[in-house]
Amino acid sequence: MTFTALSNPIFEQAIADYHVTDNVDTPIQNPYPLKSIEYYLYLKNWIDTVQWHFEDIIRDPQIDPVEALNLKRRIDKSNQDRTDLVELIDSYFLQKYQSVVPLPEATINTESPAWAVDRLSILALKIYHMRQETERTDTTDEHRKACQAKLDVLLEQQKDLSLAIDQLIEDIEAGRKYMKVYKQMKMYNDPALNPVLYGGK
């Protein structure tokens, strides 16, 4: 089984599980063994799904400013959790292929496997919500047709991205590519690096 053949159904499962309640405060019930790659993939998509709905809520023009500020804090925390989890998934790949000796002509990719998987997780969400738009009964045929055209593109993109990720992983395994993980050096969350937090102007 390829990695994306494993990932995509888990992403779809997490999205479906979230939408049973469709509530950002629903506790996660991860069905996979703790610290397994399946566990991390499910958790990754759950975080993405909750954040998707955070982003919808905060765009409500009638939102209370205090509520919006609290929600912005939750979005910041979600972004950090998402980044941490991507790095954890990349650590899985680093450990899995640590004994592979890159070929002399091996090259590095523009992004690590986990950051590509991050895009695949978001794409699963786009597909789910665009498909919902094609099934609405309270809108026009034109709207549904336009959304169906977009859905077709998203499904093609999912197929292409899945293939590219699997090829990248195969290349790493064969030594044709090598990977590095650069920790995300986000400055705005760090009291020692954000001038607003450490008092500089």
Each residue of 66-118: pLDDT tens digit? 999 999 999 999 999 999 999 999 999 999 999 999 999 999 999 999 999 99
Angle in degrees, CA 173, 178, 184, rounded to 5: 120
pTM (predicted TM-score): 0.91
Could you identify the residue written with the tokens 């690096």?
Answer: 193
Name 100's Cβ contacts closer than 8 Å, sequence gap at least 6.
172, 173, 174, 175
d(CA 68, CA 62): 10
DSSP 26: P
Q: Supply 16's token pair.
A: 């479906």
